[in-house]
Chains A and B, each alone.
Chain A
Amino acid sequence: MRADPAEYEFVAPASLHAAVSLLAEQPKTWLPIAGGTDVMVQFAMGTLAARKLLSIWDLPELRGVEILPHEVAIGACCTYADLRKHEIIGREFPLVARAASWTGGIANQNRGTLGGNIVNASPAADSLPALLVYEAELILVSARGERRVAYRDFHTGYKKMGLAADELIRAVCLPQEFAGYVSYARKVGARDAQAIAKVCIAALGRIVNGAIEDVRIAVGSVAPTPIRLTETERILKGKRLDAAAVARARKMAASETRPIDDIRSTARYRAAVVSNLIGEFLERLTAGAP
């Protein structure tokens, strides 16, 4: 049954400082809400446990994209629409822009935020495999100050993450180290828009003198969190991509996943799709398609 709005407090502080001060004074009381594309769904279903909402949607400190000397810092409240239309993100981090383009529909992209996608912590989240392969780091902010953590260490289990009760994600930092890499992304689902992925993948690789010099592969919807396929990467590095190497990588990739049967797909299908996606990625890598 739908929640009664009379039971929910809502504040919209004017600054990031005011927002983190409130979280510090009353920890575990206020639930941050940005574009509402996840929180308002829980509200509508009557399953939203929090009774006090802290709107961070309008905080200018969380919205911009900063271009720094060696990295790009994306404000946590940048929307998918912001990511899609940002020229430098499109050019240097195409996997982020592509994931943004198939998240939800246009209306969801105008409201859904990158920070929200991270803290909602769905194993099927479209943008998270891209953050894994680009070695994203998160800047977490609280009244105590800021700290920086690697995104790959952030999600520790299903819907579990290393975010203290008084912290917000301020920015997602992507190092500008991937020029010249072949990038590959694909979402396998009932359709791109609106549907949640059965499997999604983001991968980067670079071939030098006929051998794989570097390769990074991350998949979503096949484990309790999005994961890097580190063993598959390890057996590919330094190798020439002949049929035997591709076959070994496909097999290893499927074995590294821990998918489940659910309403969207089966474990068996997901493992098979991961293997096929690895095959397609390695084909593209060999062909050198950007």
Chain B
Amino acid sequence: MTPNPVAKREISLIVNGEAKTVRAYPMERLLDVLRQDLGLTGTKEGCGEGECGACSVLMDGVLVDSCLIPVGQAHGASVVTIEGVAADKRFRALLEAFLVCGGAQCGICTPGMILASVHLLEKKPEPTMDEIREGLSGNLCRCTGYLQIFEAVAEGARRDVRIGSRI
């Protein structure tokens, strides 16, 4: 089909605060570059078409589905994955709340749920239940029935406000 195969190119991005350069085809999905080139397998693939949110990451501070991002569009961007969130003590209260409330079962949706929660809480530190439902509406879970997850986000926000740990 293509007589001259497309060349890989150097793509530089900041991942969880560290500068990285990868050689990749620009139409490779950010999801695959994170998992395969950078070994960050915390980001999951569910549907591969932007419906389920399992591959959620923050790119330049906003929630995106990494399966829908050609890595060519991530050149120069700052990406935060679940590994970055886990290492960030600002979000410890949120992660603990997921444990305490039973917000994770099989675990496939969990990284995406937590990234969506981080995105929500950064905009709305004390969200209402409706805001939590909306903030996580692009993330699908087949185990929990969602209520434990919504409660985890609410509890995370309450603990966080109490501890005052988030900037």
Contact = CB atoms under 8 A, between A and B. Distances in A.
| A and B are partners in one complex rather than unrelated chains | yes
A107 B69 CA distance: 11
Contacts of A2: 48
A66 to B, nearest CB: 22
A60 B53 CA distance: 28
Contacts of A191: 137
A5 interface: yes
Interface stretch (B58-66, B81-89, B96-104, B157-165): B58-66
Interface in B1-39: 1-2, 5-6, 24-29
B110 interface: no
A191 B134 CA distance: 11
A53 B27 contact: yes
A194 B6 contact: no
A12 interface: yes
Contact of B26 (A10, A41, A51, A57): A10
Nearest to B48: A44
B70 interface: yes
Interface residues of A, number: 35
A45 B68 CA distance: 12
B56 to A, nearest CB: 6
A193 B120 CA distance: 16
A12, A40, A51, A193, most chain B CB atoms within 10 A? A40
Contact residue range for chain B? 35 or more
A194 B116 CA distance: 15
A57 B64 CA distance: 14
B38 to A, nearest CB: 16
B50 A41 contact: yes
A272 interface: no
A214 interface: no
Nearest to A7: B2
A101 B27 CA distance: 29
Interface string B68-94: 111011010000000000000000000
Interface string A26-59: 0000000101110011011100000101010110
B137 A58 contact: no
B108 interface: no
A107 B25 contact: no
B84 to A, nearest CB: 17
A41 B6 contact: no
Contact of A40 (B29, B119, B139): B29
B51 interface: yes
Nearest to B133: A193
Given A7-B6, A44-B49, A53-B27, A107 B72 contact: no
A258 B79 CA distance: 45
Given A5-B28, A10-B26, A40-B67, A105 B53 contact: yes
B63 to A, nearest CB: 5
Contact of A5 (B25, B50, B64, B67): B25
B138 A36 contact: no
Contact of B138 (A7, A10, A108): A108
A110 B58 CA distance: 10
B52 to A, nearest CB: 9
Contacts of B135: 106
Contacts of A6: 2, 5-6, 25
A110 B64 contact: yes
A189 interface: no
Given A10-B25, A37-B68, A108-B65, 16 more contacts: A3-B27, A5-B6, A5-B27, A10-B26, A10-B70, A40-B29, A44-B49, A53-B70, A104-B138, A105-B139, A107-B63, A107-B138, A111-B69, A192-B137, A193-B134, A193-B138
